[in-house]
Amino acid sequence: MHRYFVLNKPYGYVSQFSDEAKHPGLQRLIKLPKDVYPVGRLDSDSEGLLILSNDNYLKHHLLTPQFKHKRTYAVQVDGTATQVHINLLKQGVQISVEGKVYKTLPPHEARLLHDINFWARNPPVRFRKSIPTSWIEMTFIEGKNRQLRKMTAAVGIPTLRLIRSAIEEIKVDEFREGELREIEKEEIYKLLKIKNNNVFS
């Protein structure tokens, strides 16, 4: 039987059930059937939406770049983000991927974010009186390792906090920090804009 769960992953946890080095695994936060695993990942220093399932068709769809599913991130950056920064990000920037120069695809969307209503992070991001922080939002259909952090650093506004705020139509503002919900197949397929198919059942 296929099961579908959505987790708002807190800061500091790795996207696997076992611990890794100094970072706790998800087994310290949630209990799930043994055959249910995270689909994709969020780094330990990133927060937000994580899908967990034992549905191979859903996993194939979300992890295969050709399907171009949209993932949206809210990013708190060091300094005052401006429309100039957004325009640079929209053009795509050069970052290093596995030691090679890579030009990112333009994000699907990028904008300044002013209405902030996220939970307080524990521990909080560092605060410096002389340097303000600000927020931007970007939506991607590609995802290289730590791509967004590298992109904001490349345009001069390093990332302080990263929250995956949405995956297609599933939104983080509907979840508490650390909250896990089970979703029915029909609903999650609709929210993720996946055509129902039993090829990988």
CATH code, domain with 25: 3.30.70.580
Same domain, yes or no: 106 and 133: yes
pLDDT 10s digits, 59-80: 999 988 888 899 999 999 999 9
Q: CB atoms < 10 A from the CB of 151, how many?
A: 24
Considering the chain, what is the average pLDDT of its residues? 92
Same domain, yes or no: 6 and 62: yes
Strands (E), 57-131: 71-78, 94-97, 100-103, 109-113
Task: Pinpoint the alpha helices (H) of 8-108.
Answer: 56-63, 83-90
Same domain, yes or no: 136 and 199: no
Looking at the structure of the chain, the number of domains it has is 2
Q: Which residues pair with 182 in a beta bridge?
A: 5
pTM for the predicted model, two decimal places: 0.93
50, 173 in Cβ contact below 8 A? Answer: no
* Closest alpha carbon to 88 in 162, 129, 68, 77: 77
Q: Which is the catalytic residue, given 43, 45, 115, 173?
A: 43
The answer on pLDDT for 200 being more than 50 is: no
Parent domain of 25: 1-67+175-201
CATH (domain of 98): 3.30.70.1560
- Cα angle vertex 20, ends 44, 167, to 5°? 35
Same domain, yes or no: 60 and 78: no
43 is catalytic: yes
The type of residue at 98 is E
- Alpha carbon 45 to chain centroid distance? 11
